[in-house]
Structures are given as structure tokens and as C-alpha cells.
């Protein structure tokens, strides 16, 4: 290894461009150095000189011996061999030994004892260490010194051996000893060099020089640090190993689920179950289902984060497990305090400067807002600074700015904030409108509305009308707004960090109440807007809840009930609203709505939707309140049934419907739940059986009915035919009767003085009529109509009628025959009826006033 020195070459190194980059050539030494080396050789110690002399003498003696041998050759060839060997030895001594196998060094092939093999090993190590030494030499003087020492020792040993033993043997042994010694020493060196190497290659070694400058305490502390680091490394490795070889999560025995000593244990179990659920196939114990694990996880989450089971259930349905943990963790932490600059009074930059000068540490809220500031720390209470009192800003959550941004109010518009108290968003709207147009700020709560008044005064809002009424009634009093904001009352599941009571106080009824009210308010908000507004026609709906029941469902309901469509909120961040949530399918445009979460957006949980009204017509089919609730209940029930079928889903609480139609959740223990489930399934099976039976019965009935119907239709056809025949006859009769009666009446008119005779005639004729047709009212009508007809015409008709009468009488003979077939009792009845009818007709036929007047007129004439 190493580069060979060329002492003979010139001393001066070449100069020129790129010389540094050229490959390094063999080292060159100055002549002075070479001379010095030679002189060093000359300056040998007395011992060395002695040894040198001895060697020379030995060589000479051997030469002499050889000469003698050659002169007197031995009888055996062995001598030759020996001579050859000796010559070989000489050569070995004189010439440098060749590396590798050759005929000259065949001794190497002879088996060696352990020590020699060891030595061999050591030698290889030595070689390596030598090579390393070459590199280390300059840096490590100590090692060099040790090598020198070893050399000296070797020489001493050589001397001793020379003195005591035979020359050749001595030499060999001494060589071996020296080798051994050397190896031992090199071993030490190796170890040292190793350590040195470590020092050299480790970054610590670079600090050696620096270490020299350090105080001993500092050095010690450094060492301690290094040790600490090493220990940490080891601990980390151990931990990783433990994780890799982690034992499977042992499912707690029945009844021992709650035997957890501390919150840390609960947290540990949460982690373990989450990891099991993440790779359920691999890590499950085979006995328990996913829902079993989920049940324990839910209980643990409830105890660890202090939620009630109902809300935890809802959240478990809403988020994937890993995200749920993030949400729960984020909901434990307060969101950063944020303020909104009142652009009616100041600019954000000026406000920031003023607050900074008061010791407030703040920053712009983000690129998405031009008026928001986030406050990291403050030496003064933010709700009591002169700037606050002057109305330069309002303390407002970042998420509260989003609905107003989505509403995008315009100057000079008529805008309604349906539930505005305490007025954060309303004042924002007013500021964007630059105090123009009119802002109606409404709220149902009289106490809270005072806060609106206060805030508006402080912030210099002068374009507002503050009302206090139920928003649901608003369109009854006022309509035609350009835009409406409905920041609806909600369960507040997105602002748990602000109000921790939400965790335990909310249940199914609260949610139902909320979404029913939200729906009604939203429909009212839509009805308050004018679709014909030239600038607007928009409705923004927002809540601080993360539950789909209060968000997507409400919007989906409004889409069905009113002529509105979803449009983009214009907010470029936030996650899209749900289109599919569990088993529910919402309108596809619901992806245009936006959701905001504390764990992803570092702001309160929020929902924002923007609707555009395209027609003021309210669809007739819409039943605004009751229907949807039922719809949802149905869909919920459907979901519950499918939940039972699914292993993945957590078991849900069931709700019983109370008298007032509200779902009341009931707490059930495990056995009750299972029995109820089974009951339900049995009911379902029974229901389906019954349905099948009913269907069968229906089919049989239908067949029977169809048979009956066909029979009936046949009968009816027959009877119809008969009726038709009868009718045709009766029609003919009627026609004839009419004319006959008409004639008789004209006769009545003519024969004014012969009333009694006429009456007799009429009675006679009526008898005939009655025989032909039972109806006489038509006859009366015809008589009245015929009153004004000419006498001539009557005469003609009379003649015709006489002819017809004779005809009819002949034709009626058959009818009469038929009538005679009628049983006597029935015939009597009919005749009685006829009599009565005739009496009536007589009463009707009495002369009227007009007739009297006509008489008078005639008399006058
Ligand atoms: C979420 S808060 C509104 C916050 C307000 N937008 C703000 O930014 O300051 C909901 C409000 O709705 C009001 N409210 C509840 N029921 C109402 C109803 N039927 N009509 C109008 N307002 C109602 C509550 O009094 C409450 O002040």
C-alpha cells in the first residue's frame, strides 16, 4: 500500500492550471532528506553494527562450506538436494522472498501448528492494520511510537536468540518470536488503531482539537451527552423491536372492560384497539367481531374525552377512526383568538399597528381574509382595548367570517340576517355594504338582540333595522329581500372546544328539534328572498355543527321543497359536503357545500351552503314540516335495519316514538339489545311472510273477482241490451206522449171556458201517458213551451198526433202485454203512483198570472 517514493526525481513541483485536480503523483523528497537518510544508515548503533558484521560472517562461512562441499562431492544425491536447499536458503536470505506459491517457497504449503495459523491470521490482520497505519500514521503519533517500540523489542529478542541458540534455528525461532511479539503489539495497536479509527471517522474525532480547548468539566459533560445519545439510540431500537414483536391486543373478559386503572391505560387501550381495527384481519383474536371492538373503543373514548355515548356514536359514524382521534384531540384545544377589523372605521394595517403598540402579538389570519387577524398573545384584554371600545374591531371566530364571505353582500341591497344575535356576522354584512342599502337584523331572543344593538352602536352601523321575532314568520311580514343569511341555531358539535357541555348534553331529541327548526327557518328564509332580484336572490345557510342531520339533510330537504339550487360558496378551502353519508344519498350538488373542521383547518367546525332561488312559486306538493321528519325517521329506521346486518357499524341506540311523535332514545343493556334485535328480525321475517300470504290471497281474490267480473259483464251486457230495447221503446213513447200532451195543452188554451171538459180530457190522456211512461214532469215542460205556438200549427199537429196515437196504440199492445206480466201487487203500486203524479200535474197546470193578464187584455179588447 501507499505510494512509492521516487527519491531520484527533481524536487520542484510543476505549476500550472488544474494541477490540483490532476491525479496525485508519487511523492518527491528533497535531496537533503535523502542525504539525511543515507547518513542515518551510516549512523548505526554498535549493536546493529555487530549484528551486521555477524550476518556477513555467517554468509561468508556458508560460502566457504559450500565451496568445500563442491570440492568433495557426497555419495548421496541428497547432498545435492541439501545444497540446493541451502542455496535456496541463501537465495532466500539474499533475495527478497517471492509472494505466493512457487517452487522456492513450497515450505509455505506445509501444515502449520495452531500458533502459526494464528500467526498467519495475525499477519493478515497485521497487513491490514499496516495499511491502515499508513493512513493513520500522520495523525496518530502514539501508534507509531508503539510500532517503534515493538521493532526495538523484536531486535532485542533477536539478539537474545542469537546468543542462546543455534544459528539457523535461532534465526527461525527468533523470527517466530519476533513475529509473535510483533503480532501482540500489533494487536494492541489494532485495537488502538480501531479506537483511533473510530475517533478519526466519527464526528467526535473532528472535535478532538476543539476538545483540547475545553475545560475538563465540559469534556465530561460532552462524554455524558454522547453516552446519553447512545443510550437513547439503544432505547429507540429496543422500542422499535418491541413494537415489531408486540403482543396481540388481548380482548378484555366480559365484565372486566372497565377494570382500567388510569387514564393512561385507557389511552393505551384506545391506541391498541385502533391499531387492531386498522388491520382487523391480521390482528383480530378470531372470537370477537369488529362491533365488539368498536363497542369497547367507544366506551374508552367516552371515558377518555368525556363524551356521552350518543354523541360519540354520531362522531364514530362521521369520521374514520384515525380522523376521529384527530378531531377529538383538536376539540380539546382552544382555537387561536381571532378578531375582525371593522372596515367602516379603520384599516387592518392601522389596527394591527395600534394593537402591536399595546403589546399584542398578532398576524394576518390568512390569505383568504382581508380583515381577519390572529392574536397569539396579548398583554391587555382584547375585549377592553380603546380600539375595541371605539369599534375598530370585533372578536370573532375565523369560521364566522366564512358565511358572510359566501353571502357576498352588495351595496344598496336589502339583506336579511334571520338569526343575527349577537350580531357578529350582521355587522360584517353591514361593513361590506358600506352602510348602504338596508340590513334587517332579526333574532327571536329578546335578551340577545340587545347585544346586536350594542355592537351596532359601537361599530357605527347605520343602515340596519333590528327586529325581534320568530324567523319562521318573517315572510308573512316582509319579503323580497335580495339576500338572506340564516346562521341557524344548532347543537354546536363543531365548537366543543368553546363549550365543553356539548359533549354530554346533546341527545337524539336535541338533534331532532334542531333539524326541524332549521328546516322551517330555511324555508322561511327562501320564501323571504325574491327570485326576481336583479343583483341577488341568494340564501346562505350555515351552522356550527358537524352533524349531517343539521347540514346536508336540511339543504337536501329545501331542494325538494322549494325552487332553489345549490351554487358554489366561493370559498376556496374547506372540505366538500357529503353526497353519500352512510346509507343516505343526498342531491349530487351537495358537494358544492363546504365543511370546516378544527383538526384540518384549525377553526371551529362549520358548515356553509349557498342557494340561488330561481322561482318565487312554492311547489304545491310541499308539506313544510311534518313530511320530512317522517321521511327521515323512515330512512333512519332503514339505516338501523341495515346497521344490524352490517358487522362494521357500531350498534345504535334505538328510539321509541312518544305520544307527541318525537323519538325518545332508550338506554338498553346488552341482553336487551340482542333480544330486541332478534325480535326485530323475527318481526321482519313474519312481516315478509305475511306480505307473501297477503299477496297470494290478493292474487286468488283478483282471480275470483275477475271471474265474477267477467260473469257480471256478460250479465250486464245482456241486461243492457234489454234495457236498450226498453229505452228505445220508452223513448218512442215519450216522444209520442210529449206531442200528445202538447196538443192537449194547446187545446186547453183554446178551450178557456170549457175547463172541466179539458180536465177530463187531460185525465184521460194522462192515463194513457202513465201507461206509456212514468215521468210526467217533462210533459209539463213541453206544455209550457208549446203555449206560444200558433193555432194552425196546433191543428196540424193535432191531426198528426191523432194519426200517431193510433199507431202507438197499436204498438203499445205489445207493451201492455208485457205489463200484464207484472205481478198484481206491483201493478197496483205503479198505478197508485201514477195517480199521484196525475194529481200533481193537475196542480201545476192551473192558470198563471200571465194567463190572467192575457185574459184581461183580451177582455179589454
Ligand atoms: C348561531 S346563533 C346566531 C349567531 C349570529 N349569526 C352571529 O354571527 O352572531 C343562532 C341564533 O338563532 C336565534 N334563533 C333561534 N331560534 C330562532 C327563530 N325561530 N327565529 C329567529 N332566530 C332564532 C338564537 O337566538 C341565536 O341567537
Q: What is the position in ligand 1's atom list of the atom closest to the CA of 418?
A: 21
Q: Of residues 302, 490, 514, 544, which has the active-site annotation?
A: 544
Q: Whose CA is nearest to atom 13 of ligand 1?
A: 419
Q: What is the DSSP letter of 822?
A: S
Identify which of 421, 492, 528 to mutate to test ligand 1's pocket (most ligand atoms within 8 A of the CB).
421
Residues in the chain: 861
Is residue 657 within 8 A of residue 663, CB to CB? The reply is: yes
> In sequence order, which ranges of 72-166 are alpha helices (DSSP H)?
77-94, 114-136, 141-164
Tell me the three-class secondary structure of 412-450, residue by residue.
Answer: CCEEEECCCCCCHHHHHHHHHCCCCCEEEEECCCHHHHH
Q: Whose CA is nearest to atom 15 of ligand 1?
A: 489
Phi/psi of residue 422, nearest 5 degrees: -90, 10
Is residue 617 within 8 A of residue 591, CB to CB? The reply is: no
- Catalytic residue status for 468: no
444-465 confidence digits (pLDDT tens): 999 999 999 999 999 999 999 9
Query: CB neighbours of 191 closer than 8 A, spacing ≥ 6?
Result: none
Q: Whose CA is nearest to atom 5 of ligand 1?
A: 420
Could you give the CA distance from residue 741 to residue 764 in angstroms, rounded to a whole number?
11
Rounded to 5 degrees, what angle do the CA atoms 305, 308, 309 make? 105
Q: Which residue has the cell 390568512?
A: 366
How many helices (H) and strands (E) are present in the chain, helices listed first? Answer: 31, 17
Nearest partner of 337 among 714, 603, 586, judged by Cα: 603
What is the largest distance, in Å, between two alpha-carbon atoms of the chain?
211
Nearest partner of 338 among 382, 390, 381, judged by Cα: 382
Cis bond upstream, residue 422 (ω within 30): yes
What count of Cα atoms within 13 Å lies in the side-chain half-sphere of residue 342?
A: 24
Cα of 472 from ligand 1 centre, angstroms: 12
At 248 the three-state DSSP class reads: coil
Could you give the CA distance from residue 635 to residue 705 in angstroms, rounded to a whole number?
37
Is residue 487 within 8 A of residue 480, CB to CB? The reply is: no
Could you give the CA distance from residue 586 to residue 553 in angstroms, rounded to a whole number?
7
Is residue 373 within 8 A of residue 341, CB to CB? The reply is: yes
Q: What is the DSSP letter of 359?
A: T
Looking at residue 675, its pLDDT comes to 61
Could you give the CA distance from residue 382 to residue 665 in angstroms, rounded to a whole number?
43
Looking at residue 828, its pLDDT comes to 59
Looking at residue 49, its pLDDT comes to 78
Is residue 344 within 8 A of residue 435, CB to CB? The reply is: yes
Q: Residue 775's CB: how many other CB atoms inside 10 A?
A: 13
Q: Which residues of the chain have pLDDT under 70?
A: 1-45, 69-212, 242-248, 621-675, 679, 682, 685-689, 692, 695-831, 833-861
Q: How far is CA 343 from the centre of its chain?
A: 36
As beta bridge partners, residue 394 has 340
Q: Whose CA is nearest to atom 25 of ligand 1?
A: 445
Could you give the CA distance from residue 303 to residue 267 in angstroms, rounded to a whole number?
10
Q: Which residue has the cell 352533524?
A: 547
Cα of 500 from ligand 1 centre, angstroms: 20
Handedness of CA 2, 7, 8, 12 (dihedral sign): positive
Q: CA-CA distances (angstroms) from residue 350 to 345, 371, 392, 678?
A: 10, 11, 10, 69
C-alpha cell at 365: 389570519
Looking at residue 242, its pLDDT comes to 66
Looking at residue 101, its pLDDT comes to 34
Could you give the CA distance from residue 476 to residue 192 in angstroms, rounded to a whole number?
97
> In sequence order, which ranges of 499-648 are alpha helices (DSSP H)?
502-505, 508-528, 552-561, 598-601, 626-645
Is residue 528 within 8 A of residue 469, CB to CB? The reply is: no
Pocket of ligand 1 (CB under 6 A): 400, 418-425, 443-445, 448, 470-472, 487, 489, 521
What count of Cα atoms within 13 Å lies in the side-chain half-sphere of residue 93?
A: 16
Binding site listing: 419-425, 443, 470, 487
Is residue 521 within 8 A of residue 488, CB to CB? The reply is: yes
Query: CB neighbours of 831 closer than 8 A, spacing ≥ 6?
Result: 770
Could you give the CA distance from residue 384 to residue 390 in angstroms, rounded to a whole number?
10
Nearest partner of 410 among 386, 382, 439, judged by Cα: 439
Q: Residue 20's CB: how many other CB atoms inside 10 A?
A: 6
Cα of 542 from ligand 1 centre, angstroms: 11
For the entire predicted model, the pTM comes to 0.52
Nearest partner of 434 among 455, 411, 409, 404, judged by Cα: 411
Q: Which residue has the cell 192551473?
A: 846
Q: What is the DSSP letter of 472?
A: G
End-to-end CA distance of the chain: 168
Query: CB neighbours of 645 closer than 8 A, spacing ≥ 6?
Result: none
Identify which of 407, 443, 543 to mutate to test ligand 1's pocket (most ligand atoms within 8 A of the CB).
443
Looking at residue 706, its pLDDT comes to 62
Could you give the CA distance from residue 372 to residue 527 in angstroms, rounded to a whole number?
32
Q: What is the position in ligand 1's atom list of the atom closest to the CA of 489?
A: 10
Phi/psi of residue 30, nearest 5 degrees: -75, 155
Cα of 443 from ligand 1 centre, angstroms: 6
| ipTM, 2 dp | 0.99
Q: Residue 387's CB: how many other CB atoms inside 10 A?
A: 21
Could you give the CA distance from residue 474 to residue 440 in angstroms, rounded to a whole number?
11
Binding site listing for S-adenosyl-L-methionine: 419-425, 443, 470, 487
Which run of H or E residues covers position 791?
A: helix 791-821
Rg (CA), the chain: 59
340-389 confidence digits (pLDDT tens): 999 999 999 999 999 999 999 999 999 999 999 999 999 999 999 999 99
Is residue 400 within 8 A of residue 420, CB to CB? The reply is: no
Q: Whose CA is nearest to atom 19 of ligand 1?
A: 470
At 644 the three-state DSSP class reads: helix
Cα of 422 from ligand 1 centre, angstroms: 8
Cα of 541 from ligand 1 centre, angstroms: 12
Amino acid at each position: 500500500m501507499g505510494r512509492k517514493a521516487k527519491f531520484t526525481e527533481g524536487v520542484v513541483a510543476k505549476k500550472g492550471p488544474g494541477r490540483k485536480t490532476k491525479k496525485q503523483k508519487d511523492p518527491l523528497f528533497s535531496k537533503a532528506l535523502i542525504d539525511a537518510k543515507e547518513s542515518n544508515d551510516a549512523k548505526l548503533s554498535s549493536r546493529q553494527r555487530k549484528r551486521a558484521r555477524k550476518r556477513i560472517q555467517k554468509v561468508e562461512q556458508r560460502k566457504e562450506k559450500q565451496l568445500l562441499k563442491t570440492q568433495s562431492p557426497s555419495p548421496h544425491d541428497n547432498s545435492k538436494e541439501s545444497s540446493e536447499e541451502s542455496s535456496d536458503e541463501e537465495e532466500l536470505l539474499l533475495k527478497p522472498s517471492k509472494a505466493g506459491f512457487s517452487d522456492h517457497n513450497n515450505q509455505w504449503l506445509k501444515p502449520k501448528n495452531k500458533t502459526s495459523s494464528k500467526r498467519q491470521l495475525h499477519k493478515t490482520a497485521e497487513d491490514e492494520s499496516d495499511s491502515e497505519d499508513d493512513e493513520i500514521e500522520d495523525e496518530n503519533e502514539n501508534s507509531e511510537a508503539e510500532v517503534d517500540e515493538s521493532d526495538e523489542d523484536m531486535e532485542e529478542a533477536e539478539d537474545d536468540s542469537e546468543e542462546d541458540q543455534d544459528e539457523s534455528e535461532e534465526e527461525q525461532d527468533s523470527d517466530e518470536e519476533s513475529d509473535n511479539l510483533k503480532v501482540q503489539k500489533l494487536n494492541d495497536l489494532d485495537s488502538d488503531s480501531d479506537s483511533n479509527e473510530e475517533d478519526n471517522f466519527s464526528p467526535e474525532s473532528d472535535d478532538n482539537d476543539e476538545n483540547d480547548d475545553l475545560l475538563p468539566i465540559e469534556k465530561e459533560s460532552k462524554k455524558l451527552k454522547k453516552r446519553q445519545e447512545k443510550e437513547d439510540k439503544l432505547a429507540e431500537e429496543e422500542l422499535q423491536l418491541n413494537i415489531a414483536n408486540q403482543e396481540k391486543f388481548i380482548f378484555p373478559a366480559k365484565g372486566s372492560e372497565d377494570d382500567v386503572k388510569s387514564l393512561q391505560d385507557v389511552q393505551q387501550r384506545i391506541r391498541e384497539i385502533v391499531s387492531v381495527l386498522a388491520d382487523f384481519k391480521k390482528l383480530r383474536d378470531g372470537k370477537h367481531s369488529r362491533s365488539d371492538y368498536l363497542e369497547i373503543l367507544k366506551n374508552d373514548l367516552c371515558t377518555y374525552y368525556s363524551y356521552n355515548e350518543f354523541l360519540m356514536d354520531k362522531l364514530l359514524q362521521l369520521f374514520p377512526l384515525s380522523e376521529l382521534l384527530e378531531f377529538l384531540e383538536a376539540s380539546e384545544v382552544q382555537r387561536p383568538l381571532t378578531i375582525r377589523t371593522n372596515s367602516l372605521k379603520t384599516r387592518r394595517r392601522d389596527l394591527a399597528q395600534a394593537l402591536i403598540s399595546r403589546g399584542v402579538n398578532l398576524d394576518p389570519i390568512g390569505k383568504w381574509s382581508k380583515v381577519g387577524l390572529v392574536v397569539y398573545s396579548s398583554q391587555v384584554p382584547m375585549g377592553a382595548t380603546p380600539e375595541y371600545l371605539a369599534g375598530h374591531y370585533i372578536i370573532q371566530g375565523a369560521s364566522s367570517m366564512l358565511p358572510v364571505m359566501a353571502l357576498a353582500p352588495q351595496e344598496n341591497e336589502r339583506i336579511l340576517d334571520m338569526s343575527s344575535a349577537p350580531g357578529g356576522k350582521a355587522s360584517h354584512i353591514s361593513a361590506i355594504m358600506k352602510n348602504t342599502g338596508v340590513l334587517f337584523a332579526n333574532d327571536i331572543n329578546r335578551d340577545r338582540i340587545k347585544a346586536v344593538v350594542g355592537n351596532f352602536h359601537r361599530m357605527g352601523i347605520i343602515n340596519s333595522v333590528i327586529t325581534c321575532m320568530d324567523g319562521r314568520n318573517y315572510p308573512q311580514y316582509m319579503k323580497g329581500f335580495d339576500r338572506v343569511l340564516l346562521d341557524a341555531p344548532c347543537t354546536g358539535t363543531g365548537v366543543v372546544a368553546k363549550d365543553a357541555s356539548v359533549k354530554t348534553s346533546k341527545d337524539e331529541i336535541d338533534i331532532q328539534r334542531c333539524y326541524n327548526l332549521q328546516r322551517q327557518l330555511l324555508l322561511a328564509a327562501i320564501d323571504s328572498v325574491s327570485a326576481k332580484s336583479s343583483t341577488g336572490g341568494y340564501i346562505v345557510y350555515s351552522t356550527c355543527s358537524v352533524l349531517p342531520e343539521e347540514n346536508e339533510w336540511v339543504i337536501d330537504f329545501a331542494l325538494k321543497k322549494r325552487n332553489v339550487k345549490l351554487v358554489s360558496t366561493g370559498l376556496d378551502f374547506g372540505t366538500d359536503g357529503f353526497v353519500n353519508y352512510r346509507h343516505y344519498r343526498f342531491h349530487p350538488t351537495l358537494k358544492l357545500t363546504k365543511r370546516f373542521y378544527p383538526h384540518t383547518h384549525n377553526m371551529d367546525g362549520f358548515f356553509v351552503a349557498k342557494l340561488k332561488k330561481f322561482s318565487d312559486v312554492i311547489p304545491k306538493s310541499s308539506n313544510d314540516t311534518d313530511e320530512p321528519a317522517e321521511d327521515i325517521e323512515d330512512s333512519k329506521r332503514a339505516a338501523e335495519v341495515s346497521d344490524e346486518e352490517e358487522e362494521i357499524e357500531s350498534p345504535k341506540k334505538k328510539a321509541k316514538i312518544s305520544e307527541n311523535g318525537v323519538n325518545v332514545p332508550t338506554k338498553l343493556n346488552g341482553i336487551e339489545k340482542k333480544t330486541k334485535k332478534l325480535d326485530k328480525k323475527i318481526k321482519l321475517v313474519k312481516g315478509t311472510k305475511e306480505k307473501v300470504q297477503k299477496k297470494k290471497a290478493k292474487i286468488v281474490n283478483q282471480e275470483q273477482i275477475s271471474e265474477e267480473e267477467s260473469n257480471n259483464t256478460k250479465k250486464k251486457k245482456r241486461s243492457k241490451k234489454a234495457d236498450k230495447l226498453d229505452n228505445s221503446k220508452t223513448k218512442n213513447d215519450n216522444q209520442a206522449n210529449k206531442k200528445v200532451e202538447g196538443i192537449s195543452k194547446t187545446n186547453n188554451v183554446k178551450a178557456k171556458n170549457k175547463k172541466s171538459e179539458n180536465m177530463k180530457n187531460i185525465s184521460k190522456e194522462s192515463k194513457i201517458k202513465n201507461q206509456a211512461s212514468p215521468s210526467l214532469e217533462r210533459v209539463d215542460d213541453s206544455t209550457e213551451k208549446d203555449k206560444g205556438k200558433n193555432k194552425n200549427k196546433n191543428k196540424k199537429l193535432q191531426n198528426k198526433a191523432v194519426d200517431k196515437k193510433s199507431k202507438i196504440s197499436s204498438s203499445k199492445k205489445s207493451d201492455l202485454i208485457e205489463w200484464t206480466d207484472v205481478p198484481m201487487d206491483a201493478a197496483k203500486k205503479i198505478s197508485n203512483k201514477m195517480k199521484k203524479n196525475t194529481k200533481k200535474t193537475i196542480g201545476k197546470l192551473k192558470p198563471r198570472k200571465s194567463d190572467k193578464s192575457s185574459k184581461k187584455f183580451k177582455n179589454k179588447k
